Amino acid sequence: MLKVNNVGVSYGGIKAVRGVTMELRPGELVSLIGSNGSGKTSLLRAISGLVDVDQGSIFIDGKDVAGVPAHERVKLGLAHCPEARKIFGQQSVMDNLLLGAFLRFKKEKKSEIEKTIDEVFAIFPKLKDRQTQLAGTMSGGEQQMLAIGRALMLKPKILILDEPSMGLAPVVIDEVFNVIGRIKETRQTSILLVEQLAYRALQLADRAYVLEQGVVRIEGTGAELQNSPEVRSAYLGGH
């Protein structure tokens, strides 16, 4: 579904990602954990085309996406729910959801898109109550739900979630992770999850990678990493 081959990303001479190889298979949930500055977000931005890679290659659904701009990669079924949510604050909740389905307006009937809106409302009932509200006036948790809902509007094959728990209250984090679990259960969408809360990310993951200073340090199944002494001491607060 998604293959990343020896990818490197630099910002003005500073290497943020230094040769990462990883894979996301159909229907799988893969977690990417690591501390601040380990290159997680840079890797995601390289996958969705927001930054250029300076080495390696990326394949989305079997297609080499070198030189393909971000908006073209979305056509391959890639939805990236960016760090810090990045909802369109000056537009309504409904408009944000419609924009998530932007590419579908060309080829699909409006009724199809409305069906997906109902599905998103079923997952996030709160969004239904707030559909006419300006998205920027909602709370952080609601904005995160909107950001995930907006990404789901594409009916993506690959869903990238960048730190969905950032800045949220513990109760809300529970809710967000519940939803991610439910999306995973459908096995319709492959999910690449980046998270600071390593414990939760590993619990949900089929497989996981630990990123350290721009390289993959450890990889394995979610359960393996939860029990790995190295991961426990560095990321799970164990001894």
15's tokens: 């290497």
Stretch that binds another protein, among 4-12, 60-68, 139-147, 222-230 (CB under 8 A): 139-147
Angle at 127 between CA 114 and CA 164, to 5 degrees: 110
- Taking CB under 8 A as the criterion, the residue among 140, 172, 199, 212 binding another protein is 140
- Taking CB under 8 A as the criterion, the residue among 10, 15, 59, 88 binding another protein is 88
Write the interaction track for another protein spanning residues 146-175; mark x where CB under 8 A is met and - where it is not. ----x---x------------x--------
Using only C-alpha atoms, the chain has a radius of gyration, in whole angstroms, of 17
Comparing CB distances to another protein, the nearer of 143 and 190 is 143
Stretch that binds another protein, among 13-21, 88-96, 123-131, 223-231 (CB under 8 A): 88-96
Task: Measure Cα distances from 94 to 51, 132, 146, 160 in Å.
Answer: 29, 6, 9, 21
CA distance 215 to 209: 10
CA distance 97 to 116: 10
Residue 185 makes CB contacts below 8 A (sequence gap 6+) with none
Comparing CB distances to another protein, the nearer of 136 and 181 is 136
Stretch that binds another protein, among 8-16, 28-36, 135-143, 214-222 (CB under 8 A): 135-143
Which segments of 108-235 does DSSP mark as H helices, in order? 110-123, 125-129, 140-152, 170-186, 198-204, 222-227, 229-235
CA distance 146 to 169: 16
- Taking CB under 8 A as the criterion, the residue among 16, 53, 98, 198 binding another protein is 98
Stretch that binds another protein, among 9-17, 26-34, 131-139, 172-180 (CB under 8 A): 131-139
Regarding 66 and contact with another protein (CB under 8 A), the answer is no
Regarding 57 and contact with another protein (CB under 8 A), the answer is no
Regarding 46 and contact with another protein (CB under 8 A), the answer is no
H or E element, residue 216: strand 215-221
Binding site for another protein (CB under 8 A): 48-50, 69-71, 74-75, 79-80, 82, 84, 86, 88-91, 95, 98-100, 102-103, 105, 134, 136-140, 143, 150, 154, 167
